[in-house]
Amino acid sequence: MADLTINGKTFTLDVEPDTPLLWAIRENAGLTGTKYGCGIAQCGACTVHIDGVATRSCGVSVGEAAGKKITTIEGLASGNALHKVQEAWIAQDVPQCGYCQSGMIMAVAALLSEKPKPTDADIDEAITNICRCGTFQQVREAIHTIASA
């Protein structure tokens, strides 16, 4: 059993402490917005915030995450008000298949909370998620739109 604080709510989950956080979030907490892409922290589809830091949840165990504040894509909005990254993603039609976009949005939200006006170089350094559809152009443009708002 493990207690995880996800999106401000405490989940008491029947899960072994060495289970990757990704699978505890998806299968035990039932929050499927966080995606599995590689399981080896390469692609970023499983990115969540742990104490505000963008983290690939497939590479973190439940034991390591216990006691920390975890935010998933489902918890990014404040009530009915979407996060500015989500709003920009909709306004600029960023996603194609959309599978990687939960992780992409979480990575971008973390970047913007640290650097509200990122340069292209900042984006290049911080956003290392794989998108096989190739939405990078729209991702970059949407980040700049948010930054200049």
Partner 1 sequence: MNKHVSPRMNRRAFVIGTAAVGAGLAIGLDIPFGGPAVVRAADGSPEIGAWVVVRPDDTVVIRIARSEMGQGSLTGLAQLVAEELECDWSKVSTEYPTPGQSVARKRVWGDFSTGGSRGIRSSQDYVRKGGATARVMLIQAAAEAWKVPASECTVANSVITHAPSGKTTTYGKVAEAAAKLTPPADVKLKDPKDWKLIGKGVKRLDTAEKTTGTMIYGIDVKLPGMLNAAIKDCPVFGGKLKSFDEAKITGMMGVKKVVKVGDTAVAVVADTWWHAKTALEALPIVWDEGDNAKVSSESIAKWLTEGLANEQPAYVGNKNGDAKAAIAGAAKKIEAVYSYPYQNHATMEPMNATAVYTADKCEVWCGTQNGEAAFAATLEASGLPAEKCDVHKVMPGGGFGRRGQTDYVRQAVLIAKEMPGTPIKLLWSREEDMAHGRYHPITQCKMTGAFDADNNLVALHYRLSGQSILFSLRPEALQNGMDPAAFQGVAQTGEAAFGYSVPNLLVEHAMRNPHVPPGFWRGVNVNHNAIYMECFMDELAQAAGQDPLEFRRKLMGNHPKHLAVLNAVAEKIGWSTPAPQGIYRGIAQVMGYGSYVAGAAEISVTDGNKIKVHRIVASTDPGYVVNPAQVERQIAGSFVYGLSALFYGGCTVKDGKIEQTNFDTYNSMRINEMPKVESVMVPSGGFWGGVGEPTIGVAAPAVLNAYFAATGKRIRSVPLRDQNITFA
Shortest Å, Cβ 52 to partner 1: 18
Report whether 48 contacts 55 (CB < 8 A): yes
Binding mask 12-51 for partner 1 (x = CB under 8 A): ----x--xx--x---xx-xxxxxxxxxxx-xx-x------
Q: What are phi and psi of 87, to 5 degrees?
A: -60, -45
Q: How many residues does the chain have?
A: 149
Task: For residues 146 and 67, give the distance between their C-alpha atoms in angstroms, rounded to a whole number.
Answer: 32
Shortest Å, Cβ 73 to partner 1: 4
55 exposure class (CB count in 10 Å sphere: 0-12, 13-18, 19+): buried
**Subset of 48-67 contacting partner 1 (CB under 8 A):** none
Q: Which stretch binds partner 1 (CB under 8 A): 49-57, 63-71, 110-118, 130-138?
A: 130-138
Q: Cα dihedral sign for 24, 25, 30, 35?
A: negative
Shortest Å, Cβ 22 to partner 1: 9
Binding residues for partner 1, per CB under 8 A?
Answer: 16, 19-20, 23, 27-28, 30-40, 42-43, 45, 72-74, 76-77, 82, 86, 89-90, 93-102, 105, 123-125, 127-140
